[in-house]
Amino acid sequence: MIAAAGNGQQKRIMNLRVMHVLRAPFGGLFRHVLDLVRGQCERGIEAGIVCDSSTGGEFADTELGKLQQICCLGVHRLPMKRKPGLSDWRVIRELDRIFRDQSPQILHGHGAKGAAYARLLASRTGAKAVYTPHGGALHYSYATLRGVVYLGLERLLKGRTDGAVFESEFSRRSYVQNVGAAEFPHRVVHNGLYEHEFSRLANGSAEYDFVFVGELRNLKGIYVLADAAHQVRQQREFTLLAVGAGDEQSNLESRIAELGLDGVVNVCPPIYPVTEALAKGRCIVIPSLAESLPYVVLETVAAAVPLLTTNVGGIPEIFGPFADRLLPAGDSRALAGAMHQFLDNPEGAQTAAEGIRAHVRSQFHVLRMVDAINTFYGEILHRDEPSAGSVSSDLE
């Protein structure tokens, strides 16, 4: 645990100017940045955001509009493509102009693309570059060409990294394994929730037995879920709603039709806030093949809704002493068996959900997350001062 800052350091933290850089304003990464920026502005930090203008939809427009009113360094949006390309040079030129105008002391890059921009430009503007992966490039391996490119870029950017905030211990270990030793100051700071989010969700009259919430891509285990649903359907009636959007939506819908699951499994666009999506199911299913520290798992657990999810990424860190309840990733038989168990004994699943909720409530709070990251900024900026002492990882 990171100790609270002393009066001198707290004063320095409150005088900070921080710009957050990300690509797509949606999903858990976006939620993390929203929470962090709100908390920083409430503590007197001058903060701002730069993100893509072509994604996020109405939800992103609304949330960023709210932040525009409190962000001293502004909310800036410009087109950013997901894959590296020539268009990145145009983005870099525009970001360089924004950063020079706003003079941030910290450029905090989130995800692969946002962190690359922040680290490439920090030295040009006299700022310190802080990196948070949120999975990003760490989901790839050297077994694929894309993995070789992304992880190779991460290796090149190591020397431009002044500090890193890993959102899970899993993420920190993945960085060390795939990129190399984190030779810069770093911390593991878990995502957190607000106290009001730990209210039990009223889903007794839910429309569906199961609900999946997430991006519609293979990494989220959507085809494993389809195969598991097919196995369960051979023996009993049930309903499932997949809430989300993504590049593989049409492929998933084709798979559902091939398996004869039309009318059993439905797909609908993202629903905001996420609690409205959770309320549609008696049990949430998140069969991810890879994760970092997913907010949707935290939010489901906090709402005391039964959850079937996998033993990947930082999810075991969320479940803590209840991690033995997690399912093996990529195993449709195991998932189908867990779905049968829920349908047989929903009351038992509800009791288990209450226990996991109590654990998460004691460990994952947004105020703790914001204060820990703010304190780390102060250490990064002043680590060379004689009185600052050395900075090392809490989790070596």
Mean pLDDT, 10 residues at a time, the chain of 396 residues: 45 79 93 97 97 94 96 98 92 97 97 96 96 86 86 94 97 95 96 95 90 95 98 98 95 98 96 93 97 94 97 97 97 98 97 96 96 96 60 40
Total of domains in the chain: 2
Is residue 96 situated within a structural domain?
Answer: yes
Compute the distance between CA of residue 263 and CA of residue 336 in angstroms, rounded to an integer: 18
CATH of the domain at 348: 3.40.50.2000
Pair (66, 156) in one structural domain = yes
Is residue 390 situated within a structural domain?
Answer: no
Is residue 387 situated within a structural domain?
Answer: no
pLDDT for residue 13: 60
Pair (210, 167) in one structural domain = no
State phi, psi for 76 to the nearest 5 degrees. Answer: -120, 130
State phi, psi for 181 to the nearest 5 degrees. Answer: -55, 135
Pair (223, 151) in one structural domain = no
Domain that holds residue 147: 7-192+365-382
Is residue 75 situated within a structural domain?
Answer: yes
Pair (100, 124) in one structural domain = yes
pLDDT for residue 24: 92
pLDDT for residue 2: 37
pLDDT for residue 97: 97
pTM: 0.86
Provide the residue type at 374 as one letter: N
C-alpha dist (Å) from residue 152 to 77, 140, 180:
28, 11, 11
Compute the distance between CA of residue 191 and CA of residue 170 in angstroms, rounded to an integer: 13
Nearest CA to 365 out of 179, 195, 121, 251 is that of: 195
Pair (157, 37) in one structural domain = yes
Compute the distance between CA of residue 177 and CA of residue 190 in angstroms, rounded to an integer: 20
Q: Tokens standing for 165?
A: 């905030």
Give the bridge partners for 110, in sequence order.
132
pLDDT for residue 394: 41
Pair (13, 140) in one structural domain = yes
Is residue 394 situated within a structural domain?
Answer: no
pLDDT for residue 202: 83
Pair (330, 350) in one structural domain = yes
Tell how strand 240-243 and strand 208-213 pair up.
parallel
